[in-house]
Amino acid sequence: MQISGAQMVIEALIAEGVDTVFGYPGGAIMNVYDEIYKQNSFHHILNRHEQASIHAAEGYAKASGKVGVAMITSGPGFTNAVTGLADAYMDSIPLVVISGQVPMSLIGTDAFQEIDAVGISRSCTKHNYLVTDAKDLPRILKEAFYIARSGRPGPVHVDIPKDVTAQIAEFNYDIEIDLETYKPNVKGNPRQIKKAMQAIATAKRPLFYLGGGVINANAADEVRELVHKCGIPAVETFMARGVLSHDDELLVGMLGMHGSYASNMAMSETDLVIALGARFDDRVTGKLSEFAKHADVIHVDIDPASISKLVNADYPIVGDVKNVVNEMLAQVDVVNADKYATWRETIVNFEELHPLTYHEDSERLKPQWVIQRVGELLGDGANISTDVGQHQMWTAQFYPFSRPRQFISSGGLGTMGFGFPAALGVKAAAPEKVSINFTGDGSILMNVQELMTAVEKKLPVINIILNNNFLGMVRQWQTLFYDKRHSETDLSIQPDFVKVAEAFGGIGYRVHTKEEFDAALQDAVAKGVVAFIEVIVHRMENVMPMVPAGGSLYNMMLLEKKESK
């Protein structure tokens, strides 16, 4: 059929099964928004800032496993969105972001709201397009969704000049995707898999190292089965929280800079690392020359560029984690789970020597208690988003995650302001679950305008603001490594968060005690409107354990014994 470029965008979204689009209109994308007005096949959520639109699409994608979609205009509309694109690129989140552009005849003339969007997005997207003819739009849009969701997922940017959205051309979406230079290898080499299983069978102290790629591949069930049939302990990265349930006896905990003592020591003592969908990030490895230096490495990843990029893989396997783990399960009989009993006991001893804990305070609530308490009250019934800072690490440490896609946070880029809009996207993707955003008094102000989005679209996100009147994580580093010179991190002057929430049409609470917190959370869940729960917490609390930047995993700063709970 002959339709306009703008109509093609709508038809492609419908064909891809898109049910929710996040965005913000403007002149260059106006033709597409006119077509959005005419359709009723998907829901559009108007954010109040383009950065928030991308983060909301990220939250939607991470919670649902689908491709998130956002739509923005040219110039500042696009530049506002770049942080979200970079965030999604770092964390391998599948997005299709469609931006308007000035008409073809004005490109390169410094026209009103013109920016080289494709040039800017090249380094922070998996792929990008500038559409110069409407007849190419069906193919480009179909490729965009395919590229975003296949292989190692990521954001794809499609920039469409305004005159192209007005052009009339043939729309045919029944197109075979055949990209000569992009053919992800999903199967995994059978010989390498066999060698890896033999290495596991002969190892004395093997350790599963689970990364966010397990969640992206929807492979958590298969990984749980493999871990238990092998009887091998497992550590998770920050991005992999929930792959194993918090009460799984083989889960050691989170690994890395703020990982548990047992996890970091297990990685330091292992003789075989079984890395599934992990990229050996610097916040996980610490000093590379000391990372798992006694171990051989099995590395399974969909992205060949990630294998042996930072840590040499003795058994490299390029493939989809789910497919490879299924092949490993078919050969799991070569592994004797009883063989690792002593190794498991060693790790239990690590856990008992320095458990992940905190010190209660009679005067101020501890943030760790707040996070644990939400887990006790809501547990599996909540999806958990976070902003970035101390609260983020405490959440990863202390929330009882029981399933994949329950934890949504900004990992690689560490974007303050991510949590609230992401939690809106999470709520849109999973309305049956309570959507909680753990945030700080610094992070929440970075996208506070999304209160209006939440009120308008009836998305009852509960924002738990752990208020220590500091940029907490930066303050922690200043305390520990800069002789307590707290340069520009004191946030003693802050708004009345209760009144801010109420001004937008939400509800606000300020709590100082455990009883007040319980009452506020239960009331917020019952009322079903967007909420701020400001929790006044201990100002100088530090996230522990901590591996200093560039340090070895086994050289952790630990909670002092006298402070043990």
Catalytic amino acids? Answer: 50, 112-113, 162, 473
User: Alpha-carbon distance 232 to 214, whole Å?
Assistant: 17
Return d(Cα 416, Cα 390) in angstroms, integer.
11
Residue with tokens 């969909």: 302
Residues 6 or more apart whose CB falls under 8 angstroms from that of 562 comprise: none
Contact 231, 250 (CB under 8 A): yes
Is residue 104 within 8 A of residue 132, CB to CB? The reply is: yes
518-552 b/e with 16+ CB inside 10 Å = b? eebbeebbeeebbbbbbbbbbeebbbbbbbeeeeb
CB 532 within 8 A of CB 465: yes
The tokens describing 328, both together, are: 């490993």
The residue type found at 159 is: D
Task: Compute how many other C-beta atoms are within 10 angstroms of the C-beta atom of residue 177.
Answer: 12
d(CA 180, CA 318): 19
Helix (H) or strand (E) holding 346: helix 341-353
426 vs 21, 276, 510, CA distance in Å?
A: 13, 25, 25
Are 138 and 8 contacting, i.e. CB atoms less than 8 angstroms apart?
yes
How far apart CA 152 and CA 361 sit, in angstroms, is 45
Q: Which two tokens stand for residue 338?
A: 């009883």
Separation of first and last alpha carbons in the chain: 69
- What does the alpha-carbon distance between residue 295 and residue 205 come to, in Å, rounded to a whole number? 9
- Provide the 10 A C-beta neighbour count for residue 362: 4
The 10 Å CB-count burial string (b at 16+, else e) for 226-246 is bbbebbbbbbbbbbbbbbbeb
Q: What is the largest CA-CA distance in the chain?
A: 75
Report how far residue 459's alpha carbon sits from residue 269's, in angstroms, rounded to the nearest whole number.
46
**Separation CA 361–CA 301 (nearest Å):** 44
Rounded Cα distance between 44 and 19, Å, is 8
Long-range Cβ contacts of 303-312 (<8 Å, 24+ apart): 303/151, 303/152, 303/279, 304/185, 306/152, 306/279, 306/280, 309/279, 309/280, 310/279, 310/280, 310/282, 310/285, 311/280, 311/285
**Environment class of residue 67 by beta-carbon count within 10 Å: exposed (0-12), middle (13-18) or buried (19+)?**
buried
